[in-house]
Structure 1
Amino acid sequence: MDIEKQKEKLEEEDEEENDGLAWLLRIDSSDVAPSPMDTNITQCSTPISSDTLFLDTFIKRIALLVIAEKTGDLQKLVNAPYTDWCYKGQTALHVAIERRSLDHVKLLVEKGADVQAKANGKFFQQNEEFGFYFGELPLSLAACTNQPEVVSYLLDNPHRQADVTDRDSDGNTVLHALVVIADNSPENTDMIADMYDKILTEHHILHRDSPVRLEDIKNNQGLTPLKLAAKLGRIGLLKHMLHREFLDKESRPLSRKFTEWVYGPVHFSLYDTSSIDTDEDNSVLEIIVFGSKIPNRTEMLQLEPLCSLLKDKWERFASKLFLFNFLVYMVFLIIFTAVAINRKEGKVRHENVMTLDEEVSVQISVWPTAPVPHRGCS
């Protein structure tokens, strides 16, 4: 099945006769493609191959696009979004990616599809019981559904390249979206890690002179993809991100681990501690240590370089601070214990303290007696 040849043939026929594409829409193709409701199709017993069915549908869609282009409605047709509250914002490009059809994706992008269209309906939001979050953008959808060919095409094509730095309603980029859908299973972690590295490296190669570092972009919570992985407890992906090492010269600046030397089973490595150490606000180490509700906290603290950082901090100053605070607490406890044991039993009477009766009698005795007026006889 050569779809490109079929598309060229349609365009040539359209040049020869103005109504050629409209004719394609009017013809009765029942002898070529059976009805979608045919039970033979659902039972996979139709004599028409799936390639033939796909090609017939594809040809008609090309015809629709060319006719819309002639009438000046191409952009409206290609980028028409869902208006329903559930699937609001979803366009034909989203559907083509969801259906895993690279040919339709190429066709739509070629005809002017908006590669930054955002599907922000309720079905596509986070924390919904029935829905699928993928980051709203077509690139994020292709990445979250593991379609590397579609991702590469959206990143690098002659028509319109996707902006990797664009963010969804939560401020998440495509890298944030990959972190969100990770679930710590080995298969999922491997898939997410490969796609994460692919987007990171391709963006670096395509935008070598860009001052923007993709991993430094923060979402609405102020979290980078690395910090988000720590907060959500994505231990498998976090380990991959901390130990990421590229050996090729072009991608080596993206590494967070640099192996200096190896001798048998012994090796010496340097780690990039940016966004990890506590010299920065809301660092990875701070998020894990103080995040009491984070799953896999203790396991994540065993990862390098987090484990070495904690050990170094303990040996340098944390142990001394702990000892000082412990001694102050013990002195405080001893003093109050001694006071509680040696206090006097019974009522304590001070010389300058009087009862209410004594105070009243004193006031009466010292109060001057008023003279009684004398009345004489006149």
Structure 2
Amino acid sequence: MKHPLEGILVIELGTVLTAPLAGMMLADLGARVIKVEHPNGGDPFRRHAGKLYSPHFASYNRNKESIQLDLQTEAGKTDLQLLLARADVLLENYRPGVMARLGLTQAALDEINPRLVWCSITGFGAEGPYRDRPCYDAVALGLSGLASLMLDPAQPGMNGPTISDNVTGMYAAYGILGALMGREKSGKGARVEVSMLEASIAFSPEGFAQYTRLGAAPGPQTRVAISQSHAFACADERLVTVHLSSVEKFWQAFVAVIERPDLLDDARFASPELRTRNYAALNGEVAATFRTRTRDEWCARLQGSDVPFAPVNTIPEVMEDPQVRQAGTFYQTAHPEHGPLTAIHRPLTIDGARGPTTRPAPVLGEHDAAIRAEFGLG
């Protein structure tokens, strides 16, 4: 069970993030993933830093093989059908209608391979008023309500990593795994459809539960106030986060560490409910205290207090963090053309194993000759 998808063949018609992430997750579980790319530059994500091998592309396409096929030609379509005839999974994130224009309807795919699991990722779904609109991470964040839980209306600005893209890719991989399990019972393939809009909504269910049960639409600070999550700037401008939750012992230990016993006598903060209601006031009271010491000093004081806390690490600091180094999260590999690469292991082990031997992301068409020979392509 170390590589549970060993023997599963995935044909990926994926670009940018959603489908490539799903494909990489399947590859990390042992599946063979053949990435089909257009001969004219391949996946657009390759070009973000030039040389058709950007860091963005490399980080979402490990453990894959690459073949170039021009699907606008009859020869390319025929070659793709030969691949699909022996595949277990077809993964794509084209806009609705593209697959039909390629002649790959559900009926056609059933005829080519009735055991095929076809996963289609779209922005908004196959039907509806937004069906043909382009969708990217910021679009899905905005439309799904996720952005309303993160942006400050007074100073709006998009920040942080891609959330909707990554979440959609994860849900796609989850759906594919379920369909493969179902195929073991039925003997037939299945159609899995995932939209960025619905995946983003599903990723944050509590906001909708609060609105439908309590009648109030949550905002950017609703969740952090309930969970008593705070971020404070220290004397050296570096940041510390604490998460006090509703457990009273965390609050009392925190007050002791920061040497503010007066907060225990402040009627505004006398219970978890009051601390939630007066979140902004509490944050302001404590922020001034954190400005009196450096981040390292505060971390030393918080260490061992049983207060849930962490320094806000930069990306370089994460890579040097002792817990991360102990876990062996990062590893070094090398590509024969592009040299040394730092990569991230899949974030799970099975029977103590990280996964199959990891290969760096392929260059465009790296496996053309081998795949053509194996599958009898033109």
**TM-score bracket relative to the smaller structure:** under 0.3
Larger relative strand fraction: 2
Structure with bigger gyration radius: 1
Q: What TM-score comes out, normalization by structure 1 length?
A: 0.23
